[in-house]
Amino acid sequence: MNYFDALRSSIPLYAGYHSFEQLPVIDKSFANQHREGLMNSNYNGKRVRKKTGGSTGEPFVYFTGALSQSYLWAGILLSWRVTGYRLGEPVAFLAGSSLFSSGFKEMVYYKLMNISLFSAFDLSQARMRGYADAMASGGFRLLYGYASAIYQLAQYILASPKRPRFNLRGVVCTAEMLTPTMREIIETAFGAPCLNQYGCNDGGVSAYECERKQGLHLITTRSYPEVLESGKLISTDLSNQTFFLPRYDTGDLVVMDDNPCPCGRGFPLIREVIGRNDDLVSDQEGNTVHFMFFAYMFREDSRISAFQVLYDERRLVINLHCYKTENEWSSYLKRTREALKFEHIDFLENHSFVLPASGKHRFVMRVDDVDVALAHCGA
């Protein structure tokens, strides 16, 4: 039975629709409200409970089956193979709970796959020194994990008086935006090519960068993707008939490339993942900018290594991580005030970034109170 027929026969919510094109676009809120109604009672296989980390402010519990999990790992392995990785070679994971689980079965699987876990939640100087030494001495051939965590470790390595030597075939970054500056620092620190991988497992989406670095190959063997005029990426995980999420809004904005990649792999090419459609800053007057407003503003400034924008109803704080302190930011302040109207707009230097529960870096975060958020992260 094909996906649409199975959906209509198994889920009363969709029994009245006569074509796939009629289906409405749904999102995480809809799925949370209709969780029981989206569960396929006719499915007799094993259900795998999954939970997003809630980095967008709304944790989400959903279910997949063995087929979806197999496609998930197939997509990851495709991204690794580009570096020259061979199955069974030692892999270092530097990430948080959204990327790896800590159950007994998961630990057995990681052992069989020769994967070692390094937590991204504690990246103190002492911990990064231990990570760098372990990755250099452990014979790892691939480093995989959060872009911001790998970038932070790379910065530490480059600043170390005695830099360790690595034997990596490559570094694959996922879960977060990988900027050109981050890529350059990572490749310099680890002496290996750094490639990007993008996924939205609840939507069945997986995409990976090949050696040409001209975009992300969107794997279509698992999902049916759609890109709306707004740039929203909508996806239907055709492999998941455990918990139906037809025409699911991934929350990401993308720009597709009309031309195929010269590598010949044949998948549709995402030219750019702009970010999440909630990576926006909005003031009380209705003015809105995407986080790329700040990314483009700072991208040519060699003083800045990373940034984060925090805001509440009245205050916006731009936290810049800089190689040197006590910089002059008046031109950036002027440009920000022209775009957004807040009672207070402030620049901070080298304060700890605020992290959501997933441990992922967010370039933009709406919080209840900026001062409280900064205090909780040790600022």
CB 239 within 8 A of CB 3: no
Mark whether 239 and 331 lie in a shared domain: no
Is residue 284 scored above 90 in pLDDT? no
Q: Which residue bears the tokens 């230097």?
A: 349
> Would the pLDDT of 115 be above 60?
yes
- 190 plus 218 within the same structural domain: yes
The reported pLDDT for the residue numbered 57 is: 46
Q: Is residue 16 one of the residues assigned to a domain?
A: no
Residues 253 and 345 placed together within one structural domain of the fold:
no
| Most trustworthy range by pLDDT among 97-101, 289-293, 325-329 | 325-329
In a shared domain, residues 219 and 76: yes
Question: Hey, CA dihedral for 164, 170, 174, 176, is it positive or negative?
Answer: positive
5 is a domain residue: no
323 shares its domain with 263: no
Residue 4 to residues 46, 67, 68, Cα–Cα distance (Å): 21, 17, 17
193 and 325, same domain (yes or no): no
Please tell me whether residues 204 and 331 are part of one structural domain: no
Q: If you average pLDDT over residues 28-48, what whole number do you get?
A: 93
pLDDT at 177: 80
Residue 202 or 291, more confident: 202
For residue 171, give the CATH number of its domain: 3.40.50.12780
pLDDT band at 125; cut points 50, 70, 90: confident
89-114 residue pLDDT tens = 999 999 876 566 667 778 888 999 99
Amino acid sitting at position 207: A
| The predicted structure's pLDDT at residue 278 | 56
Give the structural domain span for 301.
280-376
Amino acid at 293: F
Among 247, 276, 305, where does a domain finish? 276
pLDDT reported for residue 59: 67
Number of domains, the chain:
2
The model's pLDDT over 43-98, given as tens digits with 9 standing for 90+, comes to 999 999 887 754 444 568 899 999 999 999 999 999 999 999 999 999 999 987 65
- In angstroms, the CA 56 to CA 49 distance is 19
pLDDT of residue 331: 94
Do residues 237 and 298 both lie within one domain? no
* pLDDT value of residue 277: 57
Single out the residue in 259, 276, 293 at which a domain terminates. 276
- 88 and 189 housed in the same domain: yes
